[in-house]
Amino acid sequence: MKKFTFSLEKMLNYKTTLLEEEKATLGRMRAELNAIEAEIQQTTRQMLNTDIQLKKTAAQGVNVMQLRNMSFQIDNTRNLIADLKKQQVAQEKKVQMQLQVVLGATQEVSGMEKLKEKQLEAYRYSLQKEEELMISELVSTQYVRAGHSR
């Protein structure tokens, strides 16, 4: 009997390659999301430090221009954080959409692998039946020859 070949092997390989590419895309998207989150944390710390410095400076008594400058920095930082949070929400949506793509591709590959396993099981079963038939024929032939030689 000929060697087992999965009829959709090329398609399975193609789908597996696509799955790996989609997983890589998801990884990059998650890295971008992590970078945005890290930038939010860093900017928040920067804003808090500036706010603490503003309060210290105000307590020591400074001119109005310095206070306005520090207050302006805090307002700009708040606006930056708001923009970053919008980017974060948008990136989270992209990550969720990509996760759905990866899940779909995973299901396709899994389905094809199950089909391959079923075909391999059917191949092994037919191979076993063929071997049983050959053994039966061999035994019958030997029995018949043994009966005729006496």
Of 145 and 14, the one with more pLDDT: 14
pTM: 0.74
Judged by DSSP in three states, 110 sits in helix
Q: To the nearest 10°, the Cα dihedral for 49, 50, 53, 59?
A: -130
Confidence of residue 100 (pLDDT cuts 50, 70, 90): very high
Given a contact cutoff of 8 angstroms between Cβ atoms, the answer to whether 98 and 29 are in contact is yes
Given a contact cutoff of 8 angstroms between Cβ atoms, the answer to whether 60 and 12 are in contact is no
How much of the chain, in percent, has pLDDT values that exceed 70?
97
How many Cβ atoms are within 10 Å of 15's Cβ, its own excluded? 19
Give the span between the Cα atoms of 77 and 50, in whole angstroms: 9
pLDDT digits (tens, 9 = 90+) for 38-83: 999 999 999 889 888 878 887 887 778 887 888 888 899 999 999 9
Confidence of residue 20 (pLDDT cuts 50, 70, 90): very high
Q: Residue 150 pLDDT > 60, yes or no?
A: no
As a whole number, mean pLDDT of residues 11-34 equals: 96
Percentages helix, strand, coil for the chain (3-state, rounded to 5) are 90, 0, 10
Q: What is the DSSP string of 36-53?
A: HHHHHHHHHHHHHHHHHH
